[in-house]
Structure 1
Amino acid sequence: MSQRNLRNNRYDRAGERPYRRANPLVRLWRWRTEIALLAAAVTVVAVVVHSLGEGRWWPSLILAGTIGVPAASRLGRNWMIAHLWCLVSRHRVQRTCVESGIHTRTGRLPLILWITPTNAGEKALVLTRAGTCAEDFEAFSGELASACYARRVNVARHRKWAHLITIEIIRREPAPGLFPVLDRIYGQANWVPVRSGRDHEEVPDIRSVTTTFPVAA
């Protein structure tokens, strides 16, 4: 049985339209978290400078406590590191889509709707565009794992809506007690794993093979 194979870039041929940069609104959406963090940092610095200029110390102390207390605890550090990996993985997945040709002929990339930490790494909810599907991501699961600095990547599609897929990035052994709620936010019953034929070679059933030996007279 033939397997779907998209290892070769399907748009790397004469006459095909290569990937083109997204419009400003889409780029703002992709960098929304970084923009929000930058705006928050600028606001904090402005508040601190303004309060110190007027001789008031209590706003600075409140801000220092709000930031320092979570950073001083192990749970807070794990939370920040896990969400930092979510930002890294989101951009690495998008870059892999560009390099491997997982986009439409007009250059539209799949849309990462949501990405959350899990007990073993991260899990992203992806909206595929017309012309792409879950099998496209499974065909390049090795590239996705390498780009995200992970051990492996598991791809699953929704049972009812095939345009919704999840990309589970496995980068460590499951850590008990780490983000137990977010790890189950997608649920397990609604998703069907997509397995690649490249990773599962057909092995003949030796039990069905009978060997006969000549019988001496």
Structure 2
Amino acid sequence: MTEYRDANGKRLSDYPRPSVAVDTAVLTVPVGGALSVVQVRDQTDGDWRLPGTFVHESERLADAVLRSLRDKAGVTGLAPRQLHVFDDPSRDDRGWVLSVAHLDVVPAASLDLGDDARLVPIGEATGMVHGHDDILGFAVDRLRADHRGAPDRHGLLPSPFTMSALRGLHEAVLGERLLPDSFRRAMVPLLTATDAKAAEGPGKPATLYVR
């Protein structure tokens, strides 16, 4: 086979190229808690960051993501999707590293984290190395956009649920208080009311909904 050369007579190996990494923001909302992210502790530096890894030779991006989640966070069974490519040549102090960021949003109960992983509110996950703060910010913006137009887009609440529980989830995701009446009017057309009721303190039982 003839070796490939471009119009300038150069081979692929003649061009400098970045290292390629994958980094994943795994987001969730613990019961009664704030929007949170999975962090892993680096074995060398001891700092906390998003789970990620360099892509190995001939490895698919999706396989590298699952490998990093398994080996660094002790998490399996997730299905992250590509979020964004972070390609600023100066973003990583280790050198020219292109990061293909991924996002997964899962119920907190489905996360069984390893010893070197933790779940922390996004407001506390700051000062991370290798541009991970930017990746987390981008992931949070995407998740919040999802929740502004649809009820519990990622199935964080077990069904059926009350309207107040749904509103509490959306408040945790959006990081802001929502007017109950306005929220109800926006969500009811997008939900199906069941015949079941749930007691929520004094007053008449609340209707239970499904997506």
Normalising by structure 1, we get a TM-score of: 0.26
Give the number of the structure whose residues are more often helix, by fraction: 1
Normalising by structure 2, we get a TM-score of: 0.26
- Larger of the two Rg values belongs to structure: 1
